[in-house]
Structure 1
Amino acid sequence: MGKALMIQGTSSGAGKSLLALALCRIFSNLGYDVVTFKSQNMSLNSAPSIEGGEISRAQYLQALACKKKPSVKFNPILLKPEGGMRSQVVFMGKPIGSVSAKEYMLSKKEELFSKAMKVLDELLEKHDIVVIEGAGSPVEINLKDYDIANMRVAKHAKAKVILVTDIDRGGSFASIVGTMELLSEEERKLVMGFIFNKFRGDASLLKPGLDYLEQRYGKKVLGVIPYTEHKIPEEDSLTEFPKVKGELHIQIVKLPHISNFTDFEPLHWANGIDYVSNAEEIKGDVIIVPGSKNTVEDLLWMRENGIEDAILEAHKDGAFVIGVCGGFQMLGKKIIDEVESKRGKINGVGLLETKTFFARTKRTNHLKAQILWKPLGGMVVEGYEIRMGRSTSERHFSVIHEINGRPTFEYDGAIGERAFGTYLHGIFHNFDFTERFLNMLRAEKGLEPISVGRWSLEEEIERFAKIVEKSIDVDYILGKLGL
């Protein structure tokens, strides 16, 4: 029977996802058969699994850190907020309905939790270590009785719990004490120790506080992780959207239901990007409409707030406009939606000669494609799709020649006048594509070409894991697990 190690946090954004990722890689490098698990995640950043279903991007990345192919078993329940206090419920990778928060609490949660625990039991039977990630805080008084992602999971798995806190925010000692005091005596016994995350400075200065925690609770402070710059995509719950302008002014529309915004991180690292949410801000050289969990509602939001007209005006003045997934659908001529928003026929922005209808089945696949758009024609790119929309076009952006490793031939996206749309999430993570695209636009402005720094996600995971390994007591953790 495998051992369960659970990472819980004093708050959202404490660093649970990245600490779990680092531990997955540390244990994997030591030769253990490791997998990740999160019973329930609420996120609009998702990715395809090996089974073709949809899981949170956090568990996708943790699976890679385990040196495993991402599986729906690692994130059985995924909630995708739709607005209006409703969420799409994805179970074992497949959408099973849309419910209000109250409906979920009363009719779905216990049934799905029971099924998720059977998945966890299976993982524990087959692997040496299961690194389990919690959600938010385990002691929110108004939510604790309904919580199926923290201590109920730890009790079921007999997990050793590490409590992590973000010291960069301040108040980390108080947050640990507050969390421990609000846990029941049974729950406190499950806590192995504490980790302080994102510390800037000399860790020896923390000694009085660390000693206090160890004396008060008889729990070890397992380490202090330094504040570390990295390029591993973060969980989306508390992410701050950057506003960093570069020589080329790239703007991304911050839609109410924006999804998979990690698509654009390479643009930020290469140039700087600016997320905008009102019409007066629209004046970039490049304007990107990103993915959306509710395409039609976000299109109508842009229309009502004048953002659609501002995009069209900027396009007339020479701005290059791009749509990714839901954004691609919005930029077309027409959307027919009797599934997601159930609003029927809606006119699109009209920059692309496309028509989209929504099917009831979701496509979740890894893709390899060849660009057909002349300025970058012939380039091979990789990405993934998560969509219910099906679009037709006469001028295609790319041709997909591989789906989940299997040869195929089907068209993707559309080309317009100084505009293109694509279903390929992650297209800008193809650094050759991004470099050539940016330099094409820089040349138009008389700017010198730039080189987009190449890096690999694998190298970033390994680098971050080594920093964490040096900062925490791994031997003590393994000892407590009986390994």
Structure 2
Amino acid sequence: MAKNIMIQGTMSNAGKSLLTAGLLRVFAQDGYRVAPFKSQNMALNSYITAEGLEMGRAQVVQAEAAGIEPSVRMNPILLKPVSDVGSQVIVCGEVRGNMPAAEYFRYKQKLVPVIMEAYRELEKDRDIIVIEGAGSPAEINLKTHDIVNMGLAKMVDAPVLLAGDIDRGGVFAQLYGTVELLEPQERERVKGLIINKFRGDRGILEPGIAMLEEKCRLPVVGVMPWISVDIEDEDSLTERFYRKGTAGEVKAAVIRLPHISNFTDFNPLETVEGLEVVYVSSVKELGEPDLILLPGTKNTMGDLRWLRQSGLETAVLKCAAKGVPVFGICGGYQMLGESLCDPCGVEYGGQMQGMGLLPVQTVFEEQKVRTRVHGTVSGLTGFYQGLSGSSFTGYEIHMGTSRTIGAAASGTGGSGSDKCGREFGQVSDFSRIRLAVSGSGAGPVKADGCVCRNAAGTYVHGIFENNEFTNRFLRLIYRRKGLSFEDSRHMDIEEYKRRQYDQLADAVRENLNINEIYRMVGI
């Protein structure tokens, strides 16, 4: 049986995910076999495991910090919002369907056996499991049949560290108020408090810390400073959308769609020296970019309608007409096509005209595509010709099938076009390739995406995490502006992540009482 500890917060964005990742990194550095666990995550940023199952990216990041392969056992329930009052419910990596919030609230208690089975399987080969809560344990309207905060802590008998966000102000009231609103048996589980995201002289805090410890009868196990580490954060609360960095030689504009998902696809570009990556939601913010990126979305048709109403579609088309490269991933790729058809009512039903930059038709289907892929870009001409020959790995998560107009009816992408469409690359399904290794043949190959003049699209998430592909891509963008691009500007993404996780672990060791936390864990 693994030992455990749980990080809960006084509110959303109190820093639970980052603290969890930091503790996992510290424990792993100290030689322990560790794993993250979050029973229920609500996020639009998701990931496909090696088994072809879907989970939240926050636990993927924590698995990376722990140095292990992500597994849906780390996040057995994922809720992907499809509206203000409803979500797609994913259980153990498989879609269970869409549910209004009230229906899910009644249904979730049935998922307790699923949660416990995932946890028990996970702890079989682990020494320590670091568990992340959600929101606040003092949301008294949601405490009935809780499965993610104190309810889960009770189920797995976990000690709790409670974190508060001082950057938003009122951290003492946050922590004291949360503790006071807990039931006596819940309060007993809280073993320590953490003040998170502090900027300034810690000495100024000491009188407040002393009073907080006296009133709560709990130790403050550390004050975590605001640290500049580049690690993925919760998608709905990310500050990336609001960052105003210094202007670079080249400006890449990511369209900030209302239901944007997997915007982490563009994180690797933010590591490039001289490349300014901005998230825009208005024509004024778009300005005159050197590259336009259309991200994934949980609601392609609805977000395309917003793009149209906001004037951004017209602005993007004007940029494209001037030769500005436009690149779409997943839902962004679907928008760039000629039409979107939803005969089964997966999104809004009916049919919509696309942006018309790619000769592609998308039909939404009830079956979700979930797969890991790898392949090689081939057969491109024109602006994107320099990408031909680059290899890549990634994953697909989408509800639609896209075919180039005039292509064969079978397969994603197709093999021909009656316009200027060309397949983006030859993609091999990872799971099928793996099966083919022990059998015969090289495995089935399909075409993915489409390229037409300066517009391109693909279903492959994570494509910019491939160094060869990204360096070639950036050379094209820089060359168009009359600039040269050296590969040294773009750091190896895996090495970059390792450095960030190690910096986080250093900060955790320096600012939290690790010996006291080990005592709480029982080690």
Query: Structures share a fold, TM > 0.5?
Result: yes
Q: CA deviation at 1:397?
A: 1.1
Give the match for residue 63 of structure 1: 63
Give the match for residue 517 of structure 2: 477
Cα pair 2:39 2:115 within 8 Å, conserved: yes
Distance, in Å, in 2 between the alignment partners of 1:98 and 1:172 is 36
Distance, in Å, in 1 between the alignment partners of 2:389 and 2:255 is 29
Q: Relative to structure 1, is the Cα distance of residues 381 and 126 closer, same or farther in structure 2, using a 3 angstrom cutoff?
A: closer
Q: What CA RMSD, in Å, does the superposition of the two structures yield over aligned residues? A: 2.1
2:490 to 424, 431, 452: 452
Cα pair 2:146 2:152 within 8 Å, conserved: no
Distance, in Å, in 2 between the alignment partners of 1:342 and 1:236 is 24
Distance, in Å, in 1 between the alignment partners of 2:402 and 2:477 is 27
Q: What letter matches 1:74 in structure 2?
A: M
Task: Work out whether 1:468 is the aligned partner of 2:508.
Answer: yes
Q: What letter matches 1:449 in structure 2?
A: F
Distance, in Å, in 2 between the alignment partners of 1:176 and 1:315 is 51
Give the match for residue 231 of structure 1: 230
Task: Work out whether 1:391 is the aligned partner of 2:402.
Answer: yes
Q: CA deviation at 1:105?
A: 1.4
Cα pair 2:391 2:468 within 8 Å, conserved: no
Give the match for residue 440 of structure 1: 476
1:28-39 correspondence to structure 2 within 5 Å: 28-39=28-39
Determine helix, strand or coil for the equivalent of 1:144: coil
Give the match for residue 415 of structure 1: 451
Q: What letter matches 1:370 in structure 2?
A: T
Q: CA deviation at 1:387?
A: 1.5
Q: CA deviation at 1:175?
A: 1.1
Q: CA deviation at 1:251?
A: 1.4
Q: What letter matches 2:212 in structure 1?
A: L
- Note the alpha carbon deviations across 1:164-191, whole angstroms, 9 max, x for none: 1222232222211111111122111101
2:320 to 311, 315, 318: 315
Distance, in Å, in 2 between the alignment partners of 1:335 and 1:325 is 13
Cα pair 1:243 1:275 within 8 Å, conserved: no
Q: What letter matches 1:466 in structure 2?
A: D
Q: CA deviation at 1:155?
A: 1.2
- Note the alpha carbon deviations across 1:190-249, whole angstroms, 9 max, x for none: 011012222223333322222222222332211222222122211112113035443322
Give the match for residue 130 of structure 2: 131
Distance, in Å, in 2 between the alignment partners of 1:304 and 1:195 is 45
Give the match for residue 92 of structure 2: 92
Distance, in Å, in 2 between the alignment partners of 1:442 and 1:366 is 30
Q: CA deviation at 1:289?
A: 1.3
Q: Relative to structure 1, is the Cα distance of residues 210 and 84 closer, same or farther in structure 2, using a 3 angstrom cutoff?
A: closer
Q: What letter matches 2:159 in structure 1?
A: K
Task: Work out whether 1:376 is the aligned partner of 2:349.
Answer: no
Q: What letter matches 1:123 in structure 2?
A: L
Distance, in Å, in 1 between the alignment partners of 2:325 and 2:163 is 43
Distance, in Å, in 2 between the alignment partners of 1:402 and 1:124 is 31
- Note the alpha carbon deviations across 1:352-398, whole angstroms, 9 max, x for none: 11222223322223322222231221111222221122222331111
Distance, in Å, in 2 between the alignment partners of 1:204 and 1:117 is 43
1:288 to 285, 293, 301: 293
Q: CA deviation at 1:281?
A: 4.1
Distance, in Å, in 1 between the alignment partners of 2:475 and 2:349 is 40
Give the match for residue 188 of structure 2: 189
Distance, in Å, in 1 between the alignment partners of 2:86 and 2:512 is 40
Cα pair 1:322 1:419 within 8 Å, conserved: yes
Q: What letter matches 2:75 in structure 1?
A: N
Determine helix, strand or coil for the equivalent of 2:402: strand
Could you tell me which runs of 5 or more consecutive residues in structure 2 were left unpaired when the two chains were aligned. Answer: 405-415, 417-421, 435-441
Q: CA deviation at 1:252?
A: 1.5
Distance, in Å, in 2 between the alignment partners of 1:149 and 1:64 is 22
2:254 to 248, 252, 259: 252
1:48-127 correspondence to structure 2 within 5 Å: 48-106=48-106, 108-127=107-126
- Note the alpha carbon deviations across 1:95-128, whole angstroms, 9 max, x for none: 111011111112x211123421332244345532
Q: What letter matches 1:371 in structure 2?
A: V
- Note the alpha carbon deviations across 1:24-64, whole angstroms, 9 max, x for none: 22222223222211111100011112331100001112122
Cα pair 2:346 2:365 within 8 Å, conserved: no
Cα pair 1:41 1:135 within 8 Å, conserved: yes
Distance, in Å, in 2 between the alignment partners of 1:280 and 1:65 is 38
Q: Relative to structure 1, is the Cα distance of residues 127 and 274 closer, same or farther in structure 2, using a 3 angstrom cutoff?
A: closer
Distance, in Å, in 1 between the alignment partners of 2:87 and 2:129 is 28
Cα pair 1:194 1:221 within 8 Å, conserved: yes
Q: What letter matches 1:452 in structure 2?
A: H
* Greater Cα shift, 183-192 or 273-282: 273-282
TM-score by length of 1: 0.94
Q: CA deviation at 1:162?
A: 0.5
Distance, in Å, in 2 between the alignment partners of 1:69 and 1:285 is 36
Distance, in Å, in 2 between the alignment partners of 1:30 and 1:268 is 31
Q: CA deviation at 1:417?
A: 1.2
Cα pair 1:331 1:350 within 8 Å, conserved: yes
Distance, in Å, in 2 between the alignment partners of 1:427 and 1:122 is 31
* Greater Cα shift, 327-336 or 275-284: 275-284
Distance, in Å, in 1 between the alignment partners of 2:482 and 2:119 is 57
Distance, in Å, in 2 between the alignment partners of 1:111 and 1:206 is 44
Give the match for residue 263 of structure 1: 265
- Percentage of pairs with the same residue: 44
Aligned residues: 482
- Note the alpha carbon deviations across 1:69-100, whole angstroms, 9 max, x for none: 21111111100011242110001001111011
* Greater Cα shift, 388-397 or 121-130: 121-130
Q: What letter matches 1:380 in structure 2?
A: S
Determine helix, strand or coil for the equivalent of 1:201: coil
Distance, in Å, in 1 between the alignment partners of 2:118 and 2:268 is 35
Determine helix, strand or coil for the equivalent of 1:328: helix
Q: What letter matches 2:261 in structure 1?
A: S
* Greater Cα shift, 164-173 or 121-130: 121-130
1:327-338 correspondence to structure 2 within 5 Å: 327-337=332-342, 338=344
Could you tell me which runs of 5 or more consecutive residues in structure 1 were left unpaired when the two chains were aligned. Answer: none
* Greater Cα shift, 127-136 or 64-73: 64-73
